[in-house]
Amino acid sequence: MLDDLQFGVFGPLTIRRNGRAVEIPQAKHRVLVAALLLRANRPVTSEELMQQLWGNDPPPTARKTLQGYIARLRKVLGAEVVVSRASGYAIVTDGDRLDLDRFNHALRQAETVDDPAERARLFRSAMDEAGGTPLVDVPSEYLRQGDGAALVERWLNATENWADAEMAVGRHAEVLPRLRALVSEHPFRESAWSRLMKALYQAGRQAEALGTYQEARRVLADELGVDPGQELRAAHRQILAGPAADEGDGSGSPRPSTRSATRSLPSPSRRASPSSPVRTSSPG
């Protein structure tokens, strides 16, 4: 049954067999599938899975209920796909059946290439595999703040690096739709706002770029009570200075900031990270 399965964690969680959607309507089952797919081919302990499912307050029957969920997934996906390991459970997949594996492969290639055109092409391939923010329909705060949070941050950084690579080869207008979606979904990520400003400016839309800065400034002030950080202010100054400011590197676009200079501020409603996982007996 493995040969005809495809898995996706970007955007809504998806499973397809022979091109047809495999429905996983139960929310807890989707959480379980997502947790296993984020570590595909590696075991996830029962304790970790129970925390993803129930947080720090699992029911007394949590382990037995988890075993029941696993049994149901095996009926849907196959016993050779959802397997038991000494320390827990795993989903077995191979080749290019998981969009996350294809994304990571293209991303690793892009990150090692110096040629601007090839770098842009490889980042484009990586983003083609990432259909949107990961795990958008998986209702697990613990998963979102653990493995899910690491994946979202990797996807965000990849999206920004993709925009930098495309702008380096003159594709400023092409990055605008995705960057607009990015700031809409992550309005406190200043590095995304600065790239949107730069893309607009280099696409010949200086007034819109300056308006974008004001919009970002309002969002940060109204929602977080802070002023724009160094990266946003630098982009704003460069746009105000006009074409003369771009002559330093000859690229026609400001040099991208290093990741260490990026400021991504948390939502004011974001809760603190959950406490340590629950501990129970060994997996059954």
Window from 85-89, 189-193, 279-283 with minimum mean pLDDT: 279-283
Rounded CA separation 30/32 (Å): 5
- Is the domain of 132 the same as that of 211? yes
**CATH code at position 46:** 1.10.10.10
For the segment 105-120, the average pLDDT, to the nearest whole number, is: 95
Confirm whether 269 is domain-assigned: no
Residue 280 lies in a domain: no
Is position 33 within any domain? Answer: yes
pLDDT at 247 over 70: no
Domain that holds residue 26: 2-91
Domain count, the chain: 2
| 131-153 pLDDT, tens digit each | 788 998 898 888 888 889 999 99
Instruction: Give the whole-number percent of the chain exceeding pLDDT 90.
Output: 73
C-alpha–C-alpha distance, residues 183 and 197, integer Å: 11
Domain edge (last residue) among 71, 91, 111: 91
Of residues 82, 101, 102, 83, the one with CA closest to residue 22: 82
User: Which tokens sit at 27?
Assistant: 């929310």
Q: State pTM to two decimals.
A: 0.81
Specify if 203 maps to a domain: yes
First to last CA, the chain: 25
Strands 88-91 and 82-85: antiparallel
Same structural domain for residues 126 and 191?
yes
Distance CA 206, CA 243 (A): 11
For the segment 194-205, what is each residue's pLDDT rounded down to a tens digit? 999 999 999 999
